[in-house]
Amino acid sequence: MQGWTVGTVLSAILVLASGLSSCGERSLRLQRDAVAPGAVRILLAGDVMLGREVAGVVTNDPWSVFQDLTYQVRTADVAVANLESPLTTRPHVAETPYALEADPASARLVAAAGFDAVSVANNHAGDAGLDGFTDTLAALEGAGIESLGGGADAGDAMTPTIMERNGVRVALLAFDATQQGPRAADSTPGVAWWNPLAARVAVLKARTSADVVVVGLHGGIEYLTPPDAYLSGLARRLATWGADVVWASGPHVVQPIRVLETPGTVRPTVVATSLGNLVFDQSKPQTMRGALLEVLADRDGVIASRVGRTDGSDFRAHFDRWLAPDGDAVELDGSWWSLLRQVDARTEVAPRRMPTPPGRRIRITAAAIGDVDGDGTIEIVVAYRSAFHPTLVNRSFPGRTWVDDHGLATHLGVWRAYDLEPVWIAGTTFRPVEEVAVCGGGRLAVGYSTLGDSAIVATGVWRWSTFGFSSATDLKGPGLPGCADVDRDGAIDPIVLGRTDGTDGRSTR
């Protein structure tokens, strides 16, 4: 990389990224051509610190800092993180010995990763003085990134940033709950300190200006793994005022994510008191892990959410996996999300005519109708049991039990609805299918039982793949498979209802 500077490398990254997603007017990022309101995906990440040891990676291998996370960030409609390092070349002047300042050019790296906004409302915002803080705002603006919770004066710092996606307006606010950052005043730049009266006014203003309100906080007890009591209390206030999502930073470790529900309202509030570190150089094992919170919301609030794990042990952000939900769920793009409010489930229509599956002693366990293979015609899906016969599959697993107490093996087949001709039949299925629903995109929502009992013990999704099905990650436990257009894109999504048992992290105010 001889002859290249950090700034020129990051500029090149930003130019390449712009070919994937244009920055445009980042203050609003309006999509005015949206015809009908849909749903928006909002991704929230933890602390981003690009100074100290991380600065060496930024200088020598900038592509790698967010490379393993770019897909997750860019597939969201709005992506936000907490910026823990001032972006300035000015000297560290704060009393704290932790000098987190980073090269202003690294803002372009954050933009290239796909982040639309970062919170600057934290205790490190003024570590290089007030001029260092204004340098940070300028660097972010130059990279096309919105600064949340900070500005040229108090009014600017308290004003929500509005972004519109798919006809849904999202308001973003942030507050420094440590009250240690440079406080914005009437004519002085700085960050928005947490003040209940001022915060309430700001949230209510955002509530009247947008469909979804997201509020960031910074504070709490460092390295505390249970939900932070102080931040949880602030979140309850914010939920009462109308916040749909409250995400916080400061403890540097991941804390459980919960859902607050107010009796009499259909708008839940998702609360993350700490998403841990996304990119940092802290050495405690728990500080090397982070979490992503992604919510799906429409004009009526949050519909669903999912949580992902990240690893930053080498000063780079690596995505691990999305975690399986505990309660009611929806499958979107191959991943399970937690359903946080009621959806309009499609009523499954029973076939008027039933095909005759091959074999002897046929017992049908479930049947559904729909376009299974995406060819534009209607098929009938039948799950059934019949007298066992050897196949290539069951011969390959001689130690496995393939029959129930009646000597019947489990199968699933697809037939054309108009002439009942077979399209595809599984000689043997590995798990008995007791419930089935045909959803959009060639997907089946299925419920599994056991050979000896018809009760549902797990659920899953089968996806049509050229000829036959491939299965997605299963969910353990009971549930009723079905279909609904959860993300408002016109396609019917697989859902599983009846899984919520009161232990899925929800709490009621």
Do 372 and 312 share a structural domain? no
Check whether 404 has a pLDDT greater than 90.
yes
332-371 pLDDT tens trace: 988 999 999 989 998 877 888 999 999 999 999 999 999 9
Domain identity same for 316 and 390: no
Q: Identify whether residues 61 and 166 lie together within a single domain.
A: yes
Judge if 149 and 212 occupy the same domain: yes
pLDDT at position 254 is 98
Over residues 20-54, the pLDDT tens digits come to 433 333 333 333 333 467 999 999 999 999 999 99
pLDDT of residue 300: 95
Instruction: State whether 368 and 308 are in the same domain.
Output: no
For residue 146, what is the domain's CATH number? 3.60.21.10
Identify whether residues 179 and 53 lie together within a single domain.
yes
Percent of all residues in the chain with a pLDDT value above 90, rounded to a whole number: 80
The per-residue pLDDT for range 129-156, each reduced to its tens digit, is 999 999 999 999 999 999 999 999 999 9
Q: Is the pLDDT of residue 391 over 90?
A: no
The verdict on 183 and 118 lying in the same domain is yes
Same domain, 169 and 287: yes
Residue 10 placed within a domain: no
Q: CA 125 → CA 94, 192, 462, distances in Å?
A: 10, 11, 49
User: CB 129: neighbour CB atoms within 10 A?
Assistant: 17
Confirm whether 11 is domain-assigned: no
pLDDT at position 426, please? 87
Mean pLDDT (whole number) for 450-479: 91
Using 50, 70 and 90 to split pLDDT, how confident is the model at 255?
A: very high
**pLDDT beyond 80 at 4:** no
Question: Within a domain: residue 391?
Answer: yes
Residue 3 inside a domain? The answer is: no
**Mean pLDDT over each residue of the chain, to the nearest integer:** 90
Q: Rounded CA gap, 108 and 117, in Å?
A: 12
User: What is the per-residue pLDDT for 34?
Assistant: 38
Tokens of 63: 């592509």
Co-location of 43 and 120 in the same domain: yes
Q: Considering the domain boundaries, does residue 386 fall inside one? A: yes
* 396, part of any domain: yes
The reported pTM is 0.90
Last residue of a domain, one of 323, 352, 373: 323
**Model confidence over 498-508: pLDDT tens digits?**
986 543 444 33
313 and 372 share one domain: no
Structural domain of 183: 18-323
Q: Between 20 and 241, name the one with better pLDDT.
A: 241
- 306/240 same-domain check: yes
> SS in 3 state form for 345-381?
CCCCCCCCCCCCCCCCCCEEEEEEEECCCCCCCCEEE
Distance (Å, rounded) from C-alpha 167 to C-alpha 256?
A: 31
What integer is the mean pLDDT of 252-270?
87
Residue 49 forms part of a structural domain: yes
Same-domain check for residues 316 and 367: no
- The pLDDT assigned to 333 comes to 86
Q: How many domains does the chain have?
A: 2
Cβ neighbours around 486 below 10 Å, total? 25
334 assigned to some structural domain: no
pLDDT for the residue 61: 96
pLDDT tens digits, one per residue of 431-449: 999 999 999 889 999 999 9
